[in-house]
Amino acid sequence: MAIEISTDTDKLDIDVIYQFLTHSYWAKGRTKAQVQQSIEHCLNFGVYLGGQQIGFARILTDYTVFAYVMDVFILEEHRKKGYSKTLIKAVVEHPDLQGVGRWMLATKDAHGLYRQFGFETIEDPSFWMNKLIPKQS
C-alpha cells in the first residue's frame, strides 16, 4: 500500500503527533498546547497509510531565505520501508520552498538520511549562535 503525504493541516492527527513527540529525545516535556501552537505556525507534512497518520514533519520557514526542518518522524512500526526518504523528498521538493536559500536541521541519529538530500554538517559552527531558555517546571 502506498503512503500519502499531505500538507493539509486539517488532516493531522494531533494525538499521534503529541504522543510521538513527547516520547522523543528532542521534544520531551512539550505540552499538547505547545505542539498545537507549533503546528499552527509551520508548513506541515503528514504521512498517511490507509488513512491513518504514520509520520510527520514540520518546516519553520519564511518561504524565501530560510527553512528549518523539525519534528520529523515515522512511527516505529512503519520504519525501514523508505517512508522517511519519501517524506524528506516531498519536503525538499515542495513547490513553495524552491526559492529557499538556507535549510537547517538538528539530529542526533539521522545524518545518513539527510545527507541523501544535500544536507551537510556545518563546517564552521562558530559562525552560528543560539539562545536556550530553560524549561519552566
| C-beta separation of 112 from 121 below 8 A | no
| C-beta separation of 61 from 77 below 8 A | no
Reported pTM:
0.92
Residues of the chain with pLDDT under 50: none
pLDDT per residue as tens digits for the range 111-132: 999 999 999 999 888 888 888 8
Backbone dihedral angles phi then psi of residue 66, each to the nearest 5 degrees? -140, 140
Query: Pairing relation of β-strands 43-49 and 4-6?
Result: antiparallel
| Multiple choice CATH, 4-127, 2.60.40.350, 3.40.50.300, 3.40.630.30, 3.40.50.2020 | 3.40.630.30
Q: Which amino acid is at 32?
A: K
pLDDT at 18: 95
Q: Tell me the residue ranges of DSSP E strands in the chain.
A: 4-6, 43-49, 52-61, 66-74, 102-105
The residue extents of the domains of the chain are: 4-127
